[in-house]
Structure formats: C-alpha cells, structure tokens
Structure 1
C-alpha cells in the first residue's frame, strides 16, 4: 500500500492559502461547509487554481442543501457546473447522487462523461446507502476514482475498503481528529479528508436568513493549526510502514 493522502476541504481564500502553505496532497473546494458543502463560484474555483503552491483542486458540485435525490433540472445544473469546473482548470470533480436508496447510476454515468479526463469522487452521499458493498460494486464499473466515506464508523469503513479491493480508492472523512488518525489508517484507506474548521468572529448586524440571524457572532474557516496537526499525525502513523 502506498502513502495515505491528506485532502483538505476548504471554502474560502484563507483556506486556500493554508492548503498551499501546508502542502496537503489535494484540496476539495466548496462553499457553505456548515450545510455540508455547496458548489463554489466560478471566481473561487479560478482563484483556487491560480493560488501559488496550491495542490490539485477537486471541486464539489452540489446544487443545493438537503438530500441527494436530484430532479432532472437539478441534474442538468450539475452537468453545467461540471463543464464550468473543467473550463476553470480544476483537477477533479466531487459529486454524489442517490435514487431509491441506491447509487443513482444514471447521474453518475453522466457526471463521469461530463468530467472527461478529470477524476470523479463520489462524496458522502455514500454514507446514506444501506448497502455499502453494493454501492462499491456499482461505482467501480462507472469509472469513479474514489469514494468519500464516514470516518465515524470504522467497521463500515473497513468493509468498504475490503469491497473496493484496490479497484477504487476509499477516502475517510467526517469527524476526523488527530487522535483518530491511527485507527483510520489501520482500516487500509487510501486517503483522509478533513475540513479542520474553527469559528472566527464575524458579527452580523441584520437577519439575512433563517440560518443567519442578526447578532450571529461567527463564521467557520480553516484552522491551520488543526489541519497541520492532522497532517503531521497522518505522516507519523505511516512512518513505520514506510521503513518496513
């Protein structure tokens, strides 16, 4: 097994600078991570790609909050966003879709075709599926490069790694902390994904929406120290294996 990659999820220009400084292996770029992440603007994608020292930028394409069962017009929007992501110079696409409790194979097939040469990651919509082994068997022949799966259920995660059998990458994300890295690595995953967020002061003077009440005191952004700690712990966890 090779090195376990570290992918940092970022949502703003500060996060991009952190990713470049730390030298992470990959960036997942989105916005509104507090909502699980949404498609970033074309301007933010271009800014990411042009940030000096930035690793490969994989862009989340998710048109709205909520579940992952998309209407036809939403699918059309996803495919249009993918074309824009490619044109902006990104290195990969992150997407997911579910239909009747299973992978939405039609959507994924169209996404992979629209992505062209760019690798596709199936995001944590995977965690909503009752049968992860079946999902792996669906995604492999569709040409998906990797699956993002929850790090909070290590047995399920290890089961996904076993089902993948090296045919598709499994990346652990969601709830990743430095003290969990050793256990996550032992499941055999190919990568670890974390957003390493903290809240910074950013008071709002007026109510802007149901999730942005007047007087709200903060917004989330990347915590460089936490991201660096996860990355250092990951490298340390692999050190014995690398010298074996």
Structure 2
C-alpha cells in the first residue's frame, strides 16, 4: 500500500521525503481544502519527492466557471512543462456528474502526467458510472472518502470501489485519516493507497497584527500515522 502525504508547505515536503512517503499531493491553503500551489513550491518539491500537483483554483464546490476551467488547463500545462509526476484534477457539471468534456481536454493537455481524480468524485451522483468514466479516460487513481464526510464513515462504499475497480484504477482512501482510524481503514478496505495531511491547527504570527490560524504539518502525527501501518 502506498502512502501519499497531502503537503502544503516547505516543511511538509521535507518531512515527506525524510520519512519515506511514496509521494505527495502538493497544494496550498489546506484551510479551504487545498488550491493549486505556487510555481516556486512545485520546484521546491520536484527534487525531493514524487509530486502530484493539485489543480484547483478555489475552495468550495467542484462546479467551475468557464474561466476557472481555462485557468486550470493552463495550470496543467505548466505542471507538464515543469516535468512533475502528475496532476490531481476533477470537475463536475451542474447536475453533479463528472464534467467529461473538460476532463477529456485536461487529459489531452496532461499527456504523460499521471492523473488522479480528487474528491470531486465524492460529490458525483452516480459513483459507478463516474468510476468507469475515469477508467476510460486513463486516470491512474481516485482519491475518495467513500462519498462520506470521512473515510471511516465511508469504508463500506470504499470496499465497493475497490471491488468494482478490479485493479483497473487505484482507490486511494482519504478524508479524516488519523492515528485512531488509519489501521482500521487499511485492514477493512485494503485500498491501494492512503492519503492524509498529518496536520494540526496552529496560530501563525503570534503578536503580529496579521496573526492567523493555519493547518500545519505535525511531525509527531506523521510518525504515528506511518508507524500505525508499519511504515
């Protein structure tokens, strides 16, 4: 089973490499679920760990405007030029079905980049049709909580995803993965991969007029999560 760290900072990238994570999903602003990271952060990650870049212009839902979709295609092209491992993408129609037309265009631009579908999949109304569509489009994997608030609550459906996939696409369990549930999810679902951020809320810039709360990588949590699955 592969381990993917959702990395949103320079420190998270360094720790992912130091502790032997198989790859990272690189993003920024975990506080809104992650958005496309900066060019500099992509370059920082490239030489340190296998990097798959989240392509998402904002937080919120996955029904994007035509302008947002155009920007995402530009971001995919930039990741390809930067020669990173893959992109993490997804988009839905107003009817909450996969936006097949956009995904086809994105896949064409991505070329040899590995394609991961992010948790837009969990908002799709017909998961069986969505999964088969991703397979047909050449996606390597799908990140999913089993269409539940977290992967523990969605573990029964996650097992169904694994069964239907028949190793044609990797099922990566993610969403609310923590030290208390990771071993259970691993044992009961048998996913191809597990995805987590190993973060905690911290105050940044204490004493500054710009003090704020942010989700930050926690090295102790990362070690505990890896130990829980014998990594």
Give the TM-score taking structure 2 as reference length: 0.91
Where 1:102 maps in the other structure, the secondary structure is: coil
Aligned residues: 222
Q: Which residue of 2 aligns with 1:89?
A: 83
Q: Which residue of 1 aligns with 2:30?
A: 33
Q: Which residue of 2 aligns with 1:169?
A: 170
CA-based RMSD: 1.5
Q: Name structure 2 gaps, 5 residues minimum.
A: 146-150
Q: Which residue of 2 aligns with 1:48?
A: 45
Where 2:134 maps in the other structure, the secondary structure is: helix
Where 2:230 maps in the other structure, the secondary structure is: helix
* Distance of 2:185 and 2:22 partners within structure 1: 17
Q: Which residue of 2 aligns with 1:79?
A: 73
Where 2:46 maps in the other structure, the secondary structure is: helix
Q: Name structure 1 gaps, 5 residues minimum.
A: 207-213, 237-244
* Distance of 1:55 and 1:234 partners within structure 2: 20
Q: Which residue of 2 aligns with 1:65?
A: 59
Where 1:103 maps in the other structure, the secondary structure is: coil
Q: Which residue of 2 aligns with 1:211?
A: none
Give the TM-score taking structure 1 as reference length: 0.86
* Distance of 1:56 and 1:94 partners within structure 2: 13
Q: Which residue of 2 aligns with 1:113?
A: 108
Kept in 2, the 8 Å contact 1:28–1:57? The answer is yes
Where 1:98 maps in the other structure, the secondary structure is: coil
Q: Which residue of 2 aligns with 1:8?
A: 5
Kept in 2, the 8 Å contact 1:133–1:159? The answer is no
Structure number with larger C-alpha Rg:
1
Q: Map 1:66-215 to 2 at 5 A.
A: 66-99=60-93, 100-150=95-145, 151-152=151-152, 153-185=154-186, 186-202=188-204, 203=206, 205-206=208-209
Kept in 2, the 8 Å contact 1:169–1:190? The answer is yes
